[in-house]
Structure 1
């Protein structure tokens, strides 16, 4: 998904084109990682005086409902990112520090015995949390420093 596709989706669904929505979507395009509603508010509040958390969250919920954004929960907080533009089924590795994601093309549901249990699966989500190479290296160096102190 990109900003143009997202704005077209809003228009197709009968929602107004606003500069706030455009700027919110541009932020997600620029960040390309999971971000929280409070981060969106902090990024836009200088440009839009009086912008409320409710307005941000209402739009984020709309974007999620329309499939423009996908959500996850990290550290007890709902976070959002552009929906993947890939057509194939996949899952994600998610960095707990910076929120960046990486695709996992293998699906663990393929080998799952759930269908043998008489349970009809209609959807699933598989996310692996950890640290990307950059954040992992920073954590490793910090741990080494703390051991020496």
Structure 2
């Protein structure tokens, strides 16, 4: 895959605040006149994810969604179910718990994923 196509996918993600599906990214690129294919978008997202440039999470229905990392530090996400607004958060208590539970059971070289979903203040205000 050419770097130009990966850069195009990177730019779409840099321009948005919320997590986006590969299909959403593909649609944005096509609407802007790109001839990129959906398979190429998936490959670019995988490469960017492998490089640690994008965060990936699974929605409630199992779909992978992507977002440009705002920090290079290990982090978790607080995600609004309604608008998709996402805030990167640290979780020192989660880190300590993961290390302790792994050690308790004799595990090493652990990784973990923690995402917190809710309704942001603005979306909650709209429903009142």
TM-score of Structure 1 vs Structure 2, range by shorter chain = 0.7 to 0.9
Q: TM-score, normalised by structure 1?
A: 0.71
Residue aligning to 1:82: 68
Q: Deviations over 1:72-103 (max 9, x none)?
A: 0113210001123243x432211122222213
Q: Kindly state the Cα deviation for residue 61 of structure 1 after the two structures are TM-superposed.
A: 1.1
- Higher RCO structure (Cα 8 Å, ≥6 apart): 2
More helix by share: 1
Structure index of larger Rg: 1
Q: TM-score, normalised by structure 2?
A: 0.80
Q: Kindly state the Cα deviation for residue 121 of structure 1 after the two structures are TM-superposed.
A: 4.8
Among 83, 86, 96, the alignment partner of 2:81 is: 96
Q: Deviations over 1:6-35 (max 9, x none)?
A: xxxxxxxxx7431x3322211111102211
Among 122, 125, 128, the alignment partner of 1:137 is: 125
Alignment of 1:1-149 (within 5 A): 16-18=2-4, 20-46=5-31, 47-49=33-35, 51-74=36-59, 75-87=61-73, 89-107=74-92, 108-111=94-97, 113-114=100-101, 115-138=103-126, 140-141=127-128
Would you identify which runs of 4 or more consecutive aligned residues in structure 1 move more than 3 Å? none
- Cα RMSD over matched residues? 2.1
Structure 1 alignment gaps of length 5 or more: 1-14, 142-149
